[in-house]
């Protein structure tokens, strides 16, 4: 009788743990949006925008620099998470008619994303601040 109770308790515990793991696995997708504005000139601002989509360890998104009076940089990235709050991605962008591909490291949290990579002259290193994704054109 005691061994039956132990088996029953063990089975119930295992079942509850399995349900918890499945629930966590189903909630691994998320979308985060980040923005930085600066350089008000003649009433116009420069914007940097980053949309980050994470699904089951895979990362994709867009990182755009939209200056008021200069040539913009538009690009997308893809890669994998490398820890709880970072990702290693390939970034393909177009600027001044030239397509370029570089590796970026994204470190993100509830407040901001830190972007590092590429040569310093490219100006890709930045910190953008989290916004509600409904505030962007990509919802």
SS3 per-residue string spanning 76-132: EEEEEECCCCEEEEEEEEEECCEEEEEEEEEEECCCEEEEEECCHHHCCCEEEEEEC
b/e per residue 49-81 (b: at least 16 CB within 10 A): bbbbbbeeeebebbbbbebeeeeebebebebeb
Q: What is the pLDDT along the chain (139 residues), one digit of tens a residue?
A: 555 555 445 455 555 554 444 444 444 789 999 999 987 777 788 999 999 999 999 999 999 999 888 789 999 999 999 988 999 999 999 999 999 999 999 999 999 999 999 999 888 999 999 999 988 765 4
Helix (H) or strand (E) holding 35: strand 30-41
The domain locations on the chain are 30-133
Inter-residue contact 36 to 97 (CB < 8 Å)? no
Q: What is the structure's pLDDT at 7?
A: 43
Phi, psi of 68 (to 5 degrees): -65, -40
Q: How many CB atoms lie within 10 A of CB 89?
A: 25
Q: What is the pLDDT at residue 79? A: 98
**Beta-carbon count within 10 A of 106 CB:** 26
DSSP state of 70: S
Identify the pLDDT of residue 26: 46
What pLDDT score does 5 carry?
Answer: 56
Residue 25: the pLDDT is 44
Q: What's residue 70's pLDDT?
A: 78
């Amino acid at each position: 009788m005691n061994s039956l109770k132990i088996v029953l308790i063990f089975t119930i515990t295992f079942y509850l743990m399995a349900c918890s793991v499945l629930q966590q696995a189903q909630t691994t997708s998320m979308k985060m949006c980040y923005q930085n504005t600066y350089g008000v000139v003649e009433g116009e601002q420069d914007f940097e925008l980053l949309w980050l989509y994470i699904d089951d360890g895979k990362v994709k998104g867009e990182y755009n620099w939209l200056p008021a009076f200069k040539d913009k940089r538009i690009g997308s990235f893809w890669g994998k998470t490398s820890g709880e709050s970072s990702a290693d991605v390939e970034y393909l962008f177009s600027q001044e008619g030239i397509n370029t591909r570089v590796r970026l490291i994204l470190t993100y949290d509830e407040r901001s994303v830190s972007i590092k990579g590429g040569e310093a002259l490219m100006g890709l290193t930045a910190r953008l601040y989290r916004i509600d994704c409904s505030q962007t054109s990509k919802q």
